[in-house]
Amino acid sequence: MAVGILLVGGMGTRLMPLTKHTPKPMLTVAGLPVTEHQLAMARKAGITTVVLATSYLSELFTPYFGDGSKWGMKLLYAVEDSALGTAGAIANAAQLLGTDDSIVVLNGDVLSSHDLSEQIRQHESNRADVTIHVTSVEDARAYGCVSIDSLGQVIAFLEKMERPISNTINAGCYIFDPAIIKAIPGHRVVSVERETFPELIDSGRKIRAFLDDSYWLDIGTPKALLQGSRDLVTGIADASALKLADILRHDQHSLVMASASLDSSAIIDCGSCIGSGASIGAGAHVSASIIEAGAIIGRGATILDSYIASGARIDENAKISAQFVTDTEFLSIPT
Ligand code: GTP
């Protein structure tokens, strides 16, 4: 049975200021941390043991996820004192697994509905060294580009570039033969995208592409994070991490988590989600936004395209648009 490593140690600079006090994978989309949606996806593919490879704000993961038993999983934590880069993190985390099973590595900032079970099956039946999930995008400039031959072998792997060689990109989910991970240099910063993959291709290793164009989104920017949450709420993305017991109300337009208090005259729409224990006053309108657990929205307030963090309090009749709001700050979200 395959085991997993979730890369959740990056600083999330593109999501600043949202990531100033919360690591990107712990930000809420559709009422739950991004990581929780990913664990549900891994669980669905039969993966029950996962190492969270943490570094930046590492102390915020364990209180929420614990030993994983709440999700029927075994969760372990690999903490990097200073960030080791994506490949360094994989090598470090794999030491906790000590296994000969295939190792599934997930970037911690992706929402994907691709068929992970099939990716693992193909990896094992092809006896590949690595199998990379690739997907097609219209504009590949912000991503790692992958070139594939007619047999599905990856022949080039090029990180973000102005003139991409193809619109097929690295989707951030890899299956590794554990022997490949053992060969990654330990105790120094190594990038899987910039060093490990290009080196493996150059040395003729069997690096396969698994092309699956199901729903996929990199939630690495504020705009994309809000989009991802809306997609989960409206059913465009797979929201099977949500448990009925945690939900007060869920339809195509909105999600309200249990124990939120909502005045009957408030309007929640366009894929907004209201976190548990949040309070929405009379006549308030929340549209295309994320309201985190415990936030308070005053009566008559309008919230559009915004992320209202736990502990924030929005005044009566306030008009908030494209803002990130915490208990102390109001910041514009770049468009
Ligand atoms: P940006 O700074 O906005 O690019 O975000 P990021 O820091 O998350 O970097 P990037 O999006 O390239 O990282 C892809 C995934 O790898 C994310 O899930 C990161 O959390 C994770 N990651 C990146 N660098 C490290 C690292 O040094 N250690 C660990 N454990 N994870 C990392």
Single-letter amino acid code for the residue at 179: A
Q: Cα of 12 to ligand 1 centre, how many Å?
A: 7
Stretch 195-211: mean pLDDT: 96
Do 147 and 255 share a domain, yes or no? no
Quote the pLDDT of residue 31: 96
238 within some domain: no
Same domain, 267 and 168: no
The reply to whether 143 and 198 lie within a common domain is yes
| Shared domain check, 71 and 198 | yes
CA 71 to chain centroid: 17
Query: 328: buried, middle or exposed (CB in 10 Å: 19+, 13-18, 0-12)?
Result: exposed
The closest residue, in CA terms, to atom 5 on ligand 1 is 12
3-state DSSP assignment of residue 39: helix
Closest CA to 5 of 99, 103, 119: 103
Which of residues 180, 199, 218 is at a domain's end?
218
Q: pLDDT band for position 125 (50/70/90)?
A: very high
Same domain for 167 and 34, yes or no, is yes
Residues in the chain: 335
Tell me how far apart the alpha carbons of residues 203 and 233 are, in angstroms, rounded to a whole number. Answer: 44
Residue 266 lies in a domain: yes
Is residue 211 located within the same domain as residue 310? no
In this structure, the answer to whether residues 256 and 194 fall within a common structural domain is: no
Give the chain's mean pLDDT.
Answer: 94
Same domain, residue pair 114 and 255: no
Centre of ligand 1 to C-alpha 250, Å, is 32
Asked if 268 contacts 251 with a C-beta cutoff of 8 angstroms, the reply is no
Asked if residue 154 is part of any domain, the answer here is: yes
Query: Do 100 and 203 belong together in one domain?
Result: yes
* 111 within 8 A of 232, measured Cβ to Cβ: yes
For residue 173, give the nearest of 206, 130, 205, 121 by alpha carbon. 130
CA of 241 to the centre of ligand 1 (A): 23
Which of 200, 218, 236 is the last residue before a domain boundary?
A: 218
The beta strand positions in 167-300, using DSSP E, are: 168-176, 207-211, 216-218, 247-250, 254-257, 261-262, 267-269, 272-274, 279-280, 285-287, 290-291, 296-297
- Of the three residues 198, 218, 238, the one that is the final residue of a domain is 218
The protein residue with its alpha carbon nearest to ligand 1, atom 28, reads 9
Residues 6+ positions from 218 with CB-CB distance below 8 Å:
109, 110, 142, 143, 172, 224
The beta strands (E) that lie in 177-297 are given as: 207-211, 216-218, 247-250, 254-257, 261-262, 267-269, 272-274, 279-280, 285-287, 290-291, 296-297
Q: Which of 28-37, 152-161, 253-262, 267-276 has the lowest mean pLDDT?
A: 152-161
Same domain, 77 and 160: yes
Q: Look up the CATH number of the domain holding residue 310.
A: 2.160.10.10
- Looking at the fold, whether 251 and 202 belong to one and the same domain comes out as no
Q: What does the pLDDT read at residue 260?
A: 97
Q: What distance in angstroms lies between residue 11's CA and the mean position of ligand 1's atoms? A: 6
Q: Is residue 236 assigned to a domain?
A: no
Domain holding 82, by residue range, is 3-218
- Those residues whose C-beta lies under 8 Å from the C-beta of residue 167, and which sit 6 or more positions away, are 136, 137, 138, 139, 140
Residue at 232 is within a domain: no
Query: How many structural domains does the chain have?
Result: 2
The answer to the question of residue 241 being in a domain is no
Region 114-139: mean pLDDT is 96
- Is residue 35 within 6 Å of ligand 1 at its C-beta? no
| Residue 105 counted as domain residue | yes
Residue-wise pLDDT tens digits, 34-78: 999 999 999 999 999 999 999 999 899 999 999 999 999 999 999
Residue 333 confidence (pLDDT): 85
Of all protein residues, the one whose alpha carbon is nearest to atom 10 of ligand 1 is: 10
Instruction: Residue 71: give its domain's CATH number.
Output: 3.90.550.10
Residue 193 and residue 252 in one domain: no
In a domain, 226, yes or no: no
Is the minimum distance from the CB of 80 to ligand 1 under 6 angstroms?
yes
> The pTM is what?
0.95
CB distance 52 to ligand 1 below 6 Å:
no
pLDDT at 155 over 90: yes
